[in-house]
A and B are shown apart, each in its own frame.
Chain A
Amino acid sequence: AQSVTQLDSQVPVFEEAPVELRCNYSSSVSVYLFWYVQYPNQGLQLLLKYLSGSTLVKGINGFEAEFNKSQTSFHLRKPSVHISDTAEYFCAVSDLSGNTPLVFGKGTRLSVIA
C-alpha cells in the first residue's frame, strides 16, 4: 500500500516570492505521482504528473515538481507566486497496476500575501 505525507499544513508566502510545497511518499513498488490544486468550494484540478522519464515535471500556472526516488519525494515549486495561487494543494500517489485508488496527502494550504 502507498502513503503520502505533506510536511506542511499551511504555507504563507509573500507575492512574487518563491515557494516549495513538500511531499514525501511511501511505497514498496514503483509509483505514479500527481499534484492537484483546489480553489475554495471547488473540486480538484490536476497541476502536473510524473509517470516516467525526466524527473523534473512542468505543470500549469508555472508550477514544477521534481521526482527524487532516493528520497521518495515529489516537492512542488514555483519561482514567483501570485495572489491567485492561494489555494489548497494535494499530492497523490498511485501504483502502476491501476487496480488501487489514488492515495492523497492531507493537503497544504498556500496563502499568498500581498
Chain B
Amino acid sequence: DGGITQSPKYLFRKEGQNVTLSCEQNLNHDAMYWYRQDPGQGLRLIYYSQIVNDFQKGDIAEGYSVSREKKESFPLTVTSAQKNPTAFYLCASGTASNSPLHFGNGTRLTVT
C-alpha cells in the first residue's frame, strides 16, 4: 500500500542535541511538507519541497533544517538552535493544489 512513513513515533532527546526525524513516501508525490503541531495552535509549516534538491522555508523555519536528495525522502533536523522543540511533527506529501495532502502518523519529540 502507498503511504507516508514517519519514524520513530516517539523520540526523546536531551537539550542541546540535534535530532533528525525521518519521512519517507512511496506515493510518487513531487511535493513534501513538514508541519509542527502544538495544542491550540493548529499546524504550522516548517519547510516544504516541491521538487528534488530544492526546498523553501515555511512560517517557522528557524532552528530547523531539511534536505531533499531523493523524491521519496524529506528528513527534518531539529537543531539545538530551536528554542522550544518539544512538539508533534507531521510530514505530508502531495501533488497539485487541488489534490489533498497525505499525512504520516507523526513523530512526538520530547526534549528535556
Contacts and interface: CB of A to CB of B under 8 A. Distances in A.
Contacts, number: 63
B100 interface: yes
Give the dominant DSSP class at A's interface.
loop
B48 interface: yes
Given A32-B98, A46-B100, A101 B40 contact: no
Contacts of A6: 42
A107 B42 contact: yes
A77 interface: no
Interface size class of chain B, counting residues whose CB lies under 8 Å from the partner chain: 20 to 34
Contacts of A95: 97
B41 interface: yes
Given A105-B42, A107-B42, A43 B104 contact: yes
Contacts of B90: 43-44
A56 B4 CA distance: 30
18 contacts: A32-B97, A34-B100, A36-B100, A43-B103, A43-B105, A44-B90, A49-B98, A90-B42, A98-B98, A99-B50, A99-B97, A101-B33, A102-B94, A104-B42, A104-B43, A105-B42, A106-B40, A106-B41
Interface of A: 6, 9, 32, 34, 36, 41-46, 49, 51, 90, 94-102, 104-107
